[in-house]
């Protein structure tokens, strides 16, 4: 199984793996060994989507060698393409959409019995979706994702998510709290509450608490030491939520706050629902309650009609905020979104040059921010042994950077003091400030 895209797919893949295990399929890292291969796909940009076809192509020789191999595609490309995927890819057996994970075992059984090829991409009603919400699973991890909402109603003009994940739905707060209590009892120390737009949690449900109130409840649970959440929408980040960063110690000092563009004109065309001044006001308020907060973002370059002036506004916003990191993307027209109808007539070259300028600016900003850590002693929650193997541990700082350092595995799950020695590309190298181990 291979997973592409966002945390939603990561959580879905965990569930898929559990369901497949129950019907007798165990994980293998070697595709040659597999009786079933599955791609959990992402369609956020054209490139992500093309990868799926590339990957599927690579399974063709395998299927020719092994007639009984079952080839499955799930996730957002499956949702969008449905039947067309089966038509385009003759060696594909199963296509299942974002609301149809639960159908997979039954579909696999049918394919095993040579009953044909199958696709399920129906959107479900709210009540059924609530019953099928991802639930707690056993695992010995120190950090876990907890899904608190799914789908999105914002319809940003460039975005495929509302079309492939369906309408926004919030999970009942008592279920979320119960899950976190159970996770804490299992040894989980950090949770990340996830949803497409967590800030609007509960807004559409009569009598449900707000996201800020949910954070308070989760923070009261013994054993949970750190709380993160993603993704936040700037238009929905309330004063009440911002205040949580000052009031609730367990909330990590990092927020991912996608801005997409620094130009009001483009923000409006994107249907983002906020202006540049409003965004900057939210950032100033966050810094007022939590001065050392680090902010990361997403930015789209080359949205249809973006002028040089619009782009300069983006550069100046990036400069004004001082992001710790920014994920930058070239605009990619997605079928079915409203921006796909906009005239998009400036050259790929101009877009690429803008992209490179933004990247260079951000890389320098990032370098300066992370360089401040060298020599400091930071609290690191130890998550496990690093890939380098024995004696090497990794964990993260409050700012969500991975730190690698030497230590014994009985520290896993503990929060330790680590002196930062050096910055690598996306990680830091540290040295434990000694206790006994």
Q: Which residues bind ligand SF4 (CB under 6 A)?
A: 152, 154-156, 159, 161-162, 196-197, 233
Shortest approach of ligand SF4 to residue 391 CB, angstroms?
Answer: 41
The reply on whether position 233 binds ligand 5AD by CB under 6 A is no
What letters, b where the CB count within 10 A reaches 16 and e where it falls short, cover 204-226?
eeeebbbbbbbbeebbebeebbb
Q: What is the DSSP letter of 222?
A: T
The residue count for binding ligand 5AD (CB under 6 A) is 12
Residues whose CB is less than 8 angstroms from the CB of residue 277 and which lie 6 or more positions away in sequence, other chains included? none
DSSP reduced 3-state for 422: strand
DSSP per-residue codes, 122-169:
PPPPHHHHHHTS--------SEEEEE-EE------TT--HHHHH-S-E
Q: Look up tokens 């916003």; give the residue.
A: 317
The reply on whether position 260 binds ligand 5AD by CB under 6 A is yes
Shortest approach of ligand SF4 to residue 267 CB, angstroms?
Answer: 12
Q: Which does 196 bind (CB under 5 to 8 A by kind): ligand 5AD, ligand SF4, none?
A: ligand SF4
The reply on whether position 332 binds ligand 5AD by CB under 6 A is yes
Among the residue ranges 68-76, 317-325, 329-337, 370-378, the one whose residues contact ligand 5AD (CB under 6 A): 329-337
Looking at the Cβ atoms of 75 and 162, the one nearer to ligand SF4 is: 162
Shortest approach of ligand SF4 to residue 197 CB, angstroms?
Answer: 5
Shortest approach of ligand SF4 to residue 258 CB, angstroms?
Answer: 7
E strands, 302-411, in order: 325-330, 377-385, 392-396, 402-406
Task: Write phi, then psi, for 71 (nearest 5 degrees).
Answer: -110, 125
Residues whose CB is less than 8 angstroms from the CB of residue 383 and which lie 6 or more positions away in sequence, other chains included? 141, 142, 143, 394, 395, 396, 412
Shortest approach of ligand 5AD to residue 329 CB, angstroms?
Answer: 4
Q: Which does 362 bind (CB under 5 to 8 A by kind): ligand 5AD, ligand SF4, none?
A: none
Among the residue ranges 127-135, 163-171, 324-332, 429-437, the one whose residues contact ligand 5AD (CB under 6 A): 324-332
Shortest approach of ligand 5AD to residue 261 CB, angstroms?
Answer: 9
Of 163, 189, 182, 171, which Cα lies nearest the Cα of 130?
171
The reply on whether position 324 binds ligand 5AD by CB under 6 A is no
Select from 334, 354, 401, 432 the one that contacts ligand 5AD (CB under 6 A).
Answer: 334
The reply on whether position 329 binds ligand 5AD by CB under 6 A is yes
Q: Which does 332 bind (CB under 5 to 8 A by kind): ligand 5AD, ligand SF4, none?
A: ligand 5AD
Residues whose CB is less than 8 angstroms from the CB of residue 206 and which lie 6 or more positions away in sequence, other chains included? none
DSSP reduced 3-state for 243: helix
The reply on whether position 298 binds ligand 5AD by CB under 6 A is yes
Q: Which does 45 bind (CB under 5 to 8 A by kind): ligand 5AD, ligand SF4, none?
A: ligand 5AD
Select from 4, 59, 331, 394 the one that contacts ligand 5AD (CB under 6 A).
Answer: 331
Length of the chain: 437
Shortest approach of ligand SF4 to residue 41 CB, angstroms?
Answer: 16
What whole-number distance in Å separates Cα of residue 210 and Cα of residue 171?
12
Q: Look up tokens 């079309």; give the residue.
A: 163
Looking at the Cβ atoms of 255 and 300, the one nearer to ligand 5AD is: 300
SS (H, E, C) 378-389: EEEEEEEECCCC
Looking at the Cβ atoms of 96 and 331, the one nearer to ligand 5AD is: 331
Looking at the Cβ atoms of 195 and 407, the one nearer to ligand 5AD is: 195
Q: Which does 233 bind (CB under 5 to 8 A by kind): ligand 5AD, ligand SF4, none?
A: ligand SF4
Query: Which tokens hold the place of 405?
Result: 């350092």
Residues whose CB is less than 8 angstroms from the CB of residue 102 and which lie 6 or more positions away in sequence, other chains included? 19, 132
The reply on whether position 258 binds ligand 5AD by CB under 6 A is yes
Site string for ligand 5AD, 40-59 (x = CB under 6 A): ----xx--------------
What whole-number distance in Å separates Cα of residue 183 and Cα of residue 141?
9
Contact 334, 356 (CB under 8 A): no
What whole-number distance in Å separates Cα of residue 203 and Cα of residue 348?
40
Looking at the Cβ atoms of 260 and 386, the one nearer to ligand 5AD is: 260
Select from 70, 164, 266, 300 the one that contacts ligand 5AD (CB under 6 A).
Answer: 300
Shortest approach of ligand SF4 to residue 166 CB, angstroms?
Answer: 11
What whole-number distance in Å separates Cα of residue 250 and Cα of residue 287?
17
- Where do contacts with ligand 5AD occur on this chain (CB under 6 A)? 44-45, 158-159, 258, 260, 298, 300, 329, 331-332, 334
């Amino acid at each position: 199984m291979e997973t592409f895209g966002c945390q939603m797919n990561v959580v879905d893949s965990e569930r898929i793996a559990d369901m497949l295990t129950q019907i007798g399929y165990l994980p293998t890292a070697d595709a040659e060994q597999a009786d079933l291969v599955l791609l959990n796909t992402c369609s956020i940009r054209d490139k992500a989507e093309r990868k799926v076809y590339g990957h599927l192509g690579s399974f063709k020789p395998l299927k020719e060698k092994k007639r009984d191999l079952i080839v499955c595609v799930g996730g957002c490309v499956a949702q969008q393409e449905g039947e067309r995927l089966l038509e385009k890819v003759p060696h594909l057996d199963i296509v299942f959409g974002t609301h149809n994970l639960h159908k997979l075992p039954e579909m696999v059984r049918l394919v095993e019995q040579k009953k044909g090829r199958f696709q399920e991409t129906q959107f479900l009603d709210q009540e059924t979706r609530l019953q099928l919400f991802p639930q707690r699973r056993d695992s010995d991890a120190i950090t876990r994702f907890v899904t608190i909402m799914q789908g999105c109603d914002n319809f940003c003009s460039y975005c495929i998510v509302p079309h492939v994940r369906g309408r926004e739905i919030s999970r009942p707060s008592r279920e979320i709290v119960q899950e976190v209590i159970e996770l804490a009892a299992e040894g989980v120390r950090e949770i990340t509450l996830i949803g497409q737009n967590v800030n609007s949690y509960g807004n559409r449900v009569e009598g449900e608490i707000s996201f800020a109130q949910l954070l308070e409840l989760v923070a009261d649970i013994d054993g949970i030491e750190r709380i993160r959440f993603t993704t936040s929408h700037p238009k929905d980040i309330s004063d009440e939520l911002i205040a949580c960063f000052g009031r609730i110690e367990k909330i990590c000092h990092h927020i991912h706050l996608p801005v997409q563009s620094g130009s009001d004109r483009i923000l409006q065309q994107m249907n983002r629902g906020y202006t540049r001044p409003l965004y900057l006001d939210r950032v100033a308020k966050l810094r007022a309650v939590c001065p050392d907060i680090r902010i990361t973002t997403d930015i789209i370059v080359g949205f249809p009609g973006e002028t040089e002036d619009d782009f300069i506004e983006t550069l100046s916003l990036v400069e004004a905020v001082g992001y710790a990191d920014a994920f930058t993307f070239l605009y990619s027209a997605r079928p079915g979104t409203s921006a796909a109808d906009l005239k998009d007539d400036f050259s790929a070259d101009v877009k690429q040059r803008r992209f490179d300028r933004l990247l260079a600016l951000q890389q320098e900003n990032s370098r300066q921010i992370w360089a401040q850590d060298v020599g400091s002693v930071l609290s690191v929650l130890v998550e496990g042994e690093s890939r380098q193997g024995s004696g090497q541990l990794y964990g993260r700082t409050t700012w969500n950077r991975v730190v690698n350092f030497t230590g014994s595995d009985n520290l896993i799950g503990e929060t330790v003091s680590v002196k930062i020695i050096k910055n690598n590309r996306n990680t830091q190298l540290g040295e434990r400030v000694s206790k006994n181990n």
